């Protein structure tokens, strides 16, 4: 670790954030978002609300109206959109895919990197003309960006035609927020710094009928120094196992074939229960007995990946042999200033344990290049770790400073061209390993969950293996939604081609 990094390692521990004065904007008595508040993680009680219902006074609010939601970012956001769509429909709105037809438009935003935010501001610019043409149109910004002080400020200043801003902790309040926006001229801002509630019984309009998402927990307490999520999504809080198991059973009964358990750090599942010793391993073990073909989870943190979970995953059945395990960097020094709380050696040890227990496991990862002051040697350590683990593929990113996070205050001596060049080198390695991983399937028969026609060629069907490989093949329409067996005839960098040889009961 160089001097600069040693200093940052200390600074990362003593973060403080300057508060801006919002009071003049909040005549509507709503609580402003505050990073300072978000960082105060206490042992406050988690309240469970089981009784969500659309308030009667708002029933029919959307009669004859249409809604459109554009979703940015991760699966958690996609799933929140399903909930908001459920609420809209409960209010009598109809969905539309065409923004011009909509009476209410929501942008469900992502704050993870600057370019994600820029896309949203660009879209707001485009939507301005719709507001001018259709004064009755309600335009809202929700999701992670709304939880950021700087974003709320920017919208107030530069996008005053936005009607409502609400955050990630209060999507259940959508009926009230819409009502408020219809009633008043000023922008309605309802962003809670307070989190800590788990709301059950939320309505959902799921996007598909083959694969479903199931939240198992909300928030993140890890506070990696580069990451905005602990601020925008609040503290870790788990749903009760019985609620999750019930939801998965229902999805199975409705014919869903695959579920993905969602959480920002699913390995911390259950750590917030004070009346129950029950973790992700226990949950996966319980889900094994449900008659649904595939169960996966996203996203894990190496730190909390315990032996019991590995033991349970090794039992396979409907638990797939694919684990997405973000490493972020292969350098212990960089991992330290990222506050990841593991070293390169500990990560490799964990990988060794997983591979011994599940020899055919497929590992994929997330990597950030160009973290402040990352040296060439440290970057090379990431490259060598990638080779040593033999990841099948990775999502790779250039570090993007996020206001209010400790890393954003670190000075950075790595020029952008160097960061870009490192990303290119890493991506070349990722491609090489991806092709190598695909080649392993040459001539094999794989189980494919068929999702529909291929996006690129309507003549062929497309689906995924248990290990998340895209497979394109000729097959009958009736195969959509089914598990089929496909013989792989050709391998590419990102997909496999094959011929359907039959239906799979299941390869468990």
Task: Give the torsion sign (CA, 286, 290, 293, 297).
Answer: negative
Token representation of residue 96: 């539309």
**x-or-dash pattern for ligand 5AD, window 110-139, by CB under 6 A?**
--xx--------------------------
264 binds ligand SF4 (CB under 6 A): yes
* Residue 229: CB minimum distance to ligand 5AD, A: 7
Which DSSP string do the residues of 301-366 spell out, in sequence order? Answer: -GGG--HHHHHHHTT-TTB-SEEE---B-S-HHHHHHTT-S--HHHHHHHHHHHHHH-TT-EEEEE
- Partner touching 386 among ligand SF4, ligand 5AD, none, CB below 5 to 8 Å by kind: none
61 binds ligand SF4 (CB under 6 A): no
C-alpha to C-alpha distance for 158 and 118, rounded to whole angstroms: 13
- Partner touching 402 among ligand 5AD, ligand SF4, none, CB below 5 to 8 Å by kind: ligand 5AD
- Partner touching 230 among ligand 5AD, ligand SF4, none, CB below 5 to 8 Å by kind: ligand SF4
Tell me how many residues contact ligand SF4 (CB under 6 A): 10
8 binds ligand 5AD (CB under 6 A): no
H/E element holding 495?
strand 495-503
Nearest C-alpha neighbor of 436 from the set 362, 325, 328, 329: 362
Token representation of residue 279: 């973790």
Among 232, 328, 434, 491, binds ligand 5AD (CB under 6 A): 328
Phi (first) and psi of residue 490, to 5 degrees: -155, 140
Q: Which residue number, 328 or 331, has a Cβ lying nearer to ligand 5AD?
A: 328
75 binds ligand 5AD (CB under 6 A): no
Give 357-426 as a 3 state SS string.
HCCCCEEEEEEEECCCCCCHHHHHHHHHHHHHHCCCEEEEEECCCCCCCHHHHCCCCCCHHHHHHHHHHH
Q: Which residue number, 75 or 482, has a Cβ lying nearer to ligand 5AD?
A: 75
230 binds ligand SF4 (CB under 6 A): yes
Among 161, 223, 273, 278, binds ligand SF4 (CB under 6 A): 223
227 binds ligand SF4 (CB under 6 A): yes
C-alpha to C-alpha distance for 211 and 294, rounded to whole angstroms: 9
Subset of 297-356 contacting ligand SF4 (CB under 6 A): 301
Number of Cβ within 10 Å of residue 110's Cβ equals: 22
Token representation of residue 381: 């350590």
342 binds ligand 5AD (CB under 6 A): no
366 binds ligand 5AD (CB under 6 A): yes
Q: Which residues contact ligand SF4 by CB under 6 A? A: 220, 222-224, 227, 229-230, 264-265, 301
Instruction: Please report, as ranges, the residues that interact with ligand 5AD according to CB under 6 A.
Output: 112-113, 226-227, 326, 328, 366, 368, 397, 399-400, 402
């Amino acid at each position: 670790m160089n001097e600069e990094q040693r200093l940052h390692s200390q600074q990362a521990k003593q973060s403080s954030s300057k508060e801006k004065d919002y009071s003049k904007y909040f005549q509507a008595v709503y609580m402003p978002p505050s990073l300072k508040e978000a960082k105060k993680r206490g042992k406050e009680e988690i309240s469970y609300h089981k009784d969500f219902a659309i308030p009667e006074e708002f029933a029919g609010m959307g009669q004859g109206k249409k809604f459109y939601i554009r979703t940015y970012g991760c699966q958690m956001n996609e799933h929140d959109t399903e909930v908001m769509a459920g609420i809209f429909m409960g209010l009598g709105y109809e969905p539309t895919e065409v923004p011009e037809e909509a009476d209410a438009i929501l942008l469900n935003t992502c704050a993870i990197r600057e370019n994600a935010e820029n896309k949203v501001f660009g879209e707001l610019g485009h939507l301005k003309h719709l507001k001018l043409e259709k004064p009755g149109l309600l335009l809202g910004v929700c999701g992670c960006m709304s939880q950021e002080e700087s974003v709320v400020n920017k919208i107030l200043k530069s996008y005053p035609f936005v009607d409502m801003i609400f955050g990630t902790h209060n999507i259940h309040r959508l009926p009230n927020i819409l009502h408020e926006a219809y009633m008043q001229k000023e922008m309605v801002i309802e962003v809670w710094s307070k989190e800590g509630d788990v709301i059950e019984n939320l309505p959902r309009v799921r996007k598909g009928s083959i694969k479903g998402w199931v939240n198992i927990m909300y928030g993140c307490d890890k506070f990696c120094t580069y990451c905005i999520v602990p601020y925008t999504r609040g503290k870790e809080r788990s749903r009760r196992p019985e609620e999750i198991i019930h939801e998965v059973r229902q999805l199975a009964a409705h014919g869903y074939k695959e579920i993905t358990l969602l959480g920002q750090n699913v390995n911390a599942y259950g750590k917030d229960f004070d009346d129950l010793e029950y973790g992700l391993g226990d949950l996966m073990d319980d889900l094994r007995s449900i008659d649904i073909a595939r169960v996966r989870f996203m996203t894990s943190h190496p730190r909390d990946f315990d032996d019991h979970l590995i033991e349970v995953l090794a039992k396979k059945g409907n638990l797939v042999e694919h684990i997405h395990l973000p490493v972020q960097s292969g350098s212990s020094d960089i991992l330290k200033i990222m506050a990841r709380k593991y070293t390169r050696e500990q990560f490799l040890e964990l990988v060794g344990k997983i591979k011994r227990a599940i020899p055919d496991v497929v590992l994929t990862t997330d990597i950030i290049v160009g973290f402040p002051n990352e040296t060439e040697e440290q970057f090379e350590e990431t490259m060598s770790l990638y080779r040593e683990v033999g990841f099948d593929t990775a999502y790779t990113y250039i570090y993007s400073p996020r206001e209010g996070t400790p890393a954003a205050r670190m000075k950075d001596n790595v020029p952008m061209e160097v960061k870009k060049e490192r990303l290119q080198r890493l991506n070349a390695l990722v491609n090489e390993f991806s092709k190598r991983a695909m080649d392993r399937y040459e001539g094999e028969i794989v189980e494919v969950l068929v999702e529909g026609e291929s996006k690129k060629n309507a003549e062929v069907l497309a689906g995924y293996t248990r290990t998340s490989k895209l497979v394109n093949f000729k097959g009958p329409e009736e195969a959509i939604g089914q598990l089929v067996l496909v013989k792989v005839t050709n391998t590419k960098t990102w997909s496999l081609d094959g011929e359907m040889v039959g239906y799979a009961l299941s390869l468990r």
